[in-house]
Each structure stands twice: as C-alpha cells, then as structure tokens.
Amino acid sequence: MNINKIILSFVFVFVFLSLSAQSNYNEAIQQGDAAFYRSEYTTAIKKYLLAETFDQSKWKIVQEKLDKVYAVINTKIETLQTNLTAETKHRKDLQKDSIETYNKLAAVIKHRENLQADSTETHNKLAAEIEHRANLQADSIKMQKKLNDLQGELDKINLAKKDAKQKNTETITYTVQKEEGLDKIAKKNNTTREEILKLNQDIENPDDIKTGQKIFIPKK
C-alpha cells in the first residue's frame, strides 16, 4: 500500500513538472512570437532560446523560429546595405556638384574682378550661386546624419545576431538548486558572478534568484 502511494506521488510530481515545463515553454514561445511581430528581434531570440531550456525535445521548432528571425535580420541587413550604398553614391554626387558650383562661383568672382563693374545682374547671379552652394552643403550634412543613423542600425542588428549565436554555442543552461546564489553557482561551475550576469541580463535582482530558475552559464 505504501509503495503504491509512493509510486502515485512520483507520477503526480512528474506530471506536474511536465505540465509546468510545457506551460513555461508555451509562454516563452508566445512572448518570442510577439516580440518578433513587433520587430524586437533581440528579445525574440532570447525568448526562443529560453523556451528551449524548458522543453529541449522541441529544439527543432525553436530552431525553425530562430532561422526565421535570422532570415528577417539578414534581409534587413541587405536592405540597409543597399540603402547605405545608394546614400554614399548620392553624397558623392552632391560633393561633386558642390565642387562644380564652387568652381563656377570662383569663375564668377574672377570675372567680376576683371570687369571691375558693380553690375546688378552679376551681383544677383553671385548671390544665387552662394545660396545654392549653402543649400548643397546643408543637404550634404543631412545625408551624412542619415548615413550615420543607418550605420548605427546596422551595427545594432549585427551585434544582436552575434550575441545570439555566441549565447547559443558558448553557454549551457543551468537550473538553480535550493539555497544557491550566484556566487555559489559561479564557484561550482568555475566561472564568476559577473560572467553569469553578463549572460543573463534579464535577471532583475542578482541577490534574489529562485530555486528552479533557468540561467545561462559559460561552457568550460
């Protein structure tokens, strides 16, 4: 009779843990999908990787979702690179036009000095050339700012992709045991508290981690 109770208890615990893991998996997948549709690709990657820790038997599903995110990121990178090339060419054209305008302006000034005349027509033409050159310079500054913004976005996407790949290949998932803190886990796994926090930036309170909590630690 006691043996039957023990067996039933083990079955109950197993079912409970399985349901809990499945619930956590589903929640992480849903959060990852939501982040993906909001174009928050770094968050989506983190949530998909977290889902795999709850149910590693579904790694193929997780990998398909990760591949989908990477495909979108690569498409955006290609688009940004195309835009960047176009903006660079446009800026070079503007610079070329600016040089030509400057040369025209110098020719007008030289011609005015040679004629030594205060012609109203010449004065108006000179003023127009100066204004046109100023507008070209302003456009060049705007294009440079836009170019810098595009480069910054490209760097962010590349960094997110690099971090996701590094985390997927250079870490393992660790389950926090009873009465364990980050210092004890770090010592146990031959690493440091700082390295663990670096890999788990979603930990809000490093001094209050929960038993059963899933965290990433470096592979050794």
Could you list the mean pLDDT of each consecutive 10-residue stretch along the chain, which spans 220 residues?
47 39 88 95 95 90 94 93 92 89 82 78 80 88 86 67 55 93 94 95 92 92
Q: Which two tokens stand for residue 48?
A: 């998909």
What number of other Cβ atoms are within 10 A of residue 204's Cβ? 7
Which residues neighbour 151 within 8 Å (Cβ) at sequence distance 6 or greater?
A: 84
> Contact, 69 vs 36, CB < 8 A?
yes
Task: Please provide residue 214's backbone torsions phi and psi, each rounded to the nearest 5 degrees.
Answer: -95, 125
What are the domain boundaries of the chain? 2-175, 176-220
Q: How many residues does the chain have?
A: 220
Cβ pair 72, 38 in contact under 8 A:
no
Query: What is the predicted pLDDT for the residue at 66?
Result: 94
In eight-state DSSP terms, residue 174 is E
- What pLDDT was estimated at residue 166? 53
CA distances from 128 to 100, 106, 110 (A): 14, 13, 16
Rounded to whole angstroms, the Cα distance separating 153 from 42 reads 13
pLDDT value of position 5: 42
* Per-residue pLDDT, 213: 95
pLDDT given at position 18: 43
Q: Residue 192: its pLDDT value, please?
A: 95
The continuous run of DSSP H or E covering 48 comes out as helix 41-54
What is the fold, at CATH topology level, of the domain defined by 176-220? Answer: Membrane-bound Lytic Murein Transglycosylase D; Chain A (3.10.350)
Measured CA to CA, the distance from residue 186 to residue 27 in angstroms comes to: 28
